[in-house]
Amino acid sequence: MARTAAKPKSKIGETDNQFVPRQWVIERNARETHDTFTITLRPRDGKIGCNFACGQFNMLYLFGTGEVPISISGDPSRPERLIHTIRAVGTVTQAMARLKTGDIIGVRGPFGIGWPVEEASGYDLVIIAGGIGLAPLRPVIYQALQKRSDFGRVVLLYGSRTPDDLLYRRELEKWRARLDVEVLVTVDRALSDWRGNVGVVTKLIAKAGFDPLHAIAMVCGPEIMMRFTATELLARGVPKENVYLSMERNMRCGIGLCGHCQMGPTFICKSGPVYRYDYIKDMLTRREI
Amino acid sequence: METLEPLLAEHPFFKGLEPHHIRLLVGCASNVRYNPGEFLFREGEEANKFFVIRYGKVSVEVYQPQKGPITIQTLGEGDVLGWSWLVSPYQWRFDARAMELTRAIALDGKCLRGKCEDDHGLGYELLKRFAGMIADRLEATRVQLLDIYGTHCGKTKK
């Protein structure tokens, strides 16, 4: 069944009008990989930041160029700063990659329904990310580590194209060094100087230590990767109602009015981007959607 | 004397095999150990065994001139390595190299092929297992070939 939208803790717009962007200042623009960068923002007006739930997204507006939906990848317990990891693939995001400290950007949001982190309390938490899909899941990792005792085993499985495409490398190493988190990383291709795993991320599922019957899985990545991952999770015995996927479509308005991000009977910006697998399973294989 | 029988019987790949089939396998099995960097087999060599990895990590590689070896897959504890012993002309198509100290059970392919000819029941059971493994690897390879994390796969480019 569809999950209902949680009431936002606060609005970040200067008015209640969700179409009006609030101005934020670029505090830092750091390169992650050859085509991906992370911007850190602080509110220009110096007022309260942005309370968001893990998995929600903002509409980032580069004035004069365009607006893009980008997941929030920062720490939810630090709302004074907004952090977004962006892949430079089109006109707007390529222009954003050139932003410098002090530049201004417009932000609307946060929008959508995020990951069921509170519902996962008491369960093994299995986080599976592919490529830039790690960005919307990083807030979950932050939260899980801050409230580590709330969960059973915490497992992060991460797949990337090559070792050079891995996001948040230092953090990955830090998380892997912990004794209470299992971190498995794989890449699709590598030269022989790579000492880690090579193969698809779905192959890590069988190797990870978690109790499938008492696990909640949160999956984000390309849609093909999520389909195969969900199949593999079910094969291992994870109930389909415990698998969550984050969907991506052409989000525009962010509030379920324009219809650009319609998927079947839902608008992803409003009913998603995070869905329970059993709710969207049939839609994933329907080509017209 | 301790034999490899319990190790093979407990391995998921051989799960469900009749005890007498396990005993036939044990007759073709030996314990092996490879140091880091050591090759388990090399492309073009006769494929006369397969491995059940007990410990360690192995990379399956292909050598590309001017670029060096490219890793196409890594296998670890519990994985089964090698199926060229089963398919004529019984030649390895890739290199396999230990990335770290690796211990495995090596099963002699020539010996097994002979036993499978004598006992078609064993042959069928092994083929079922290897067909599953090959299908699994084929599916994974297809997903790898899709290059799903590449920029051309992005749905929206803004």
DSSP A239-281: -GGGEEEE------SSSSSS-TTEETTEEHHHH-BEEEHHHHH
Q: Do B144 and A190 touch (CB under 8 A)?
A: no
Of A30, A29, A31, A12, residue with least CA distance to A20: A12
B116: helix, coil or strand?
A: helix
B73 in reach of chain A (CB within 8 A): yes
Considering chain A, what is the average pLDDT of its residues? 89
Q: What span, in angstroms and rounded, lies between the C-alpha atoms of A136 and B51?
A: 40
Report B:94-153 residues touching A (Cβ under 8 A).
Answer: 99, 139-140, 143-144, 146-151, 153
Q: How confident is the model at residue A288 (pLDDT cuts 50, 70, 90)?
A: low
Query: Which is higher by pLDDT, A38 or B4?
Result: A38
Candidates B59, B62, B71: best to mutate against A (most CBs of A within 10 A) is B71
Select from A150, A67, A149, A165 the least CA-distant residue to A116. A150
Q: Tokens 């049939």 correspond to what residue? A: A282
A130 interfaces chain B, CB cutoff of 8 Å:
yes
Test A165 with B146 for CB contact under 8 angstroms: no
Q: Which of A187, A127, A189, A129 is nearest to A160 (CA)?
A: A187
How large is the average pLDDT for residues A263-288? Answer: 84
Choose among A11, A8, A28: nearest CA to A19: A11
* Three-class DSSP category at A221: coil
Q: How confident is the model at residue A272 (pLDDT cuts 50, 70, 90)?
A: confident
The answer on pLDDT for B4 being more than 90 is: no
Q: Which residues of B touch A248 (CB under 8 A)?
A: 155-156
List residues bridging with A105 in a β-sheet: A24
Q: Do A188 and B59 touch (CB under 8 A)?
A: no
Task: State the Cα torsion A126-A128-A132-A135 to the nearest 10°.
Answer: 0
Q: How would you class A259 by CB atoms within 10 Å of its CB: exposed for 0-12, middle for 13-18, buried for 19 or more?
A: exposed
Q: What's the average model confidence in pLDDT over A149-165?
A: 95
Query: pLDDT tens digit string along B111-152?
Result: 999 999 999 999 999 999 999 999 999 999 988 888 888 754
- Prediction pTM value: 0.88
Average pLDDT over residues B65-80: 90
State the pLDDT at residue B116: 92
Mean pLDDT estimate for chain B: 89
